[in-house]
């Protein structure tokens, strides 16, 4: 599904984020920037050791924060490591919004034209997919309505159920536009 927001593309795809050909892909990271399992593990396997080496130099970031590294051997030139919240830690909605917004701003600061997001925090961090879709899509739509050099934002959902949740939420967010 694809929509236009202020002349920019917001697209939902069902795919493996490590195969995306955007300028950057977003890693649903932990605060120590250790590439373990899930999305991070796939990025580590396909991207090679250079990504983890750069993460080690950075050392970590706060929950709700985002940092950028090389894309290593990935099709994307960069990986933006966004630290989403764990359910139960408190203020999770604001932290997810901050991680999304921080990633978008980091892409702009690095003059990137396209970025692909996973559903941050919905894996082992236990964040509900519906709430994730609402927060991440609203934050992104609001951002695209402002001043940005980004031309395309993709939400890359690995499984069909997550994709459908995002499609329904995007329809709701853009109804009447």
Give the pLDDT confidence of 124-153 residue by residue, as tens digits: 899 999 999 999 999 999 999 999 999 999
What is the percent of the chain with per-residue pLDDT over 90, rounded to a whole number?
94
Provide CB contacts within 8 A for 164, sequence distance 6+.
none
Q: Per-residue confidence at 77, pLDDT binned at 50, 70, 90?
A: very high
**Confidence class for position 176, pLDDT limits 50, 70, 90:** confident
Q: pTM for the complete prediction? A: 0.96
Domains delineated in the chain: 2-174 (3.40.220.10)
Number of Cβ within 10 Å of residue 24's Cβ equals 25
Q: Cβ neighbours of residue 168 under 8 Å, at least 6 residues apart?
A: 133
Structural tokens at position 176 = 């009447």
**What is 104-170 written as a DSSP string?**
HHHHHHTT-SEEEE--TT-STT---HHHHHHHHHHHHHHHHTSS----EEEEEESSHHHHHHHHHHH
Q: What are the backbone angles phi and psi of residue 114, rounded to the nearest 5°? A: -145, 150
């Amino acid at each position: 599904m694809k929509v236009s927001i202020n002349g920019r593309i917001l697209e939902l795809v069902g795919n493996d984020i490590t195969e995306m050909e955007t300028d950057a892909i977003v890693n649903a990271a932990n605060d120590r920037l250790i590439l373990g399992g899930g999305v991070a593990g796939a990025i580590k396997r396909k991207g090679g050791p250079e990504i983890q080496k750069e993460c080690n130099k950075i050392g970590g970031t706060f929950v709700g924060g985002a940092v950028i590294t090389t894309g290593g051997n990935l099709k994307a030139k960069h990986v933006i490591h966004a630290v989403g919240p764990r359910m139960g830690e408190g203020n999770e909605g604001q932290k997810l919004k901050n991680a999304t917004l921080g990633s978008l701003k980091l892409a702009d600061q690095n003059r990137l034209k396209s970025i692909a997001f996973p559903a941050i925090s919905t894996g082992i961090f236990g964040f509900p997919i519906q709430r994730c879709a609402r927060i991440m899509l609203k934050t992104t739509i609001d951002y695209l309505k402002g001043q940005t050099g980004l031309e395309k934002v993709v939400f890359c959902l690995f499984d069909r159920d997550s994709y459908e949740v995002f499609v329904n939420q995007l329809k709701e967010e853009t109804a009447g536009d």
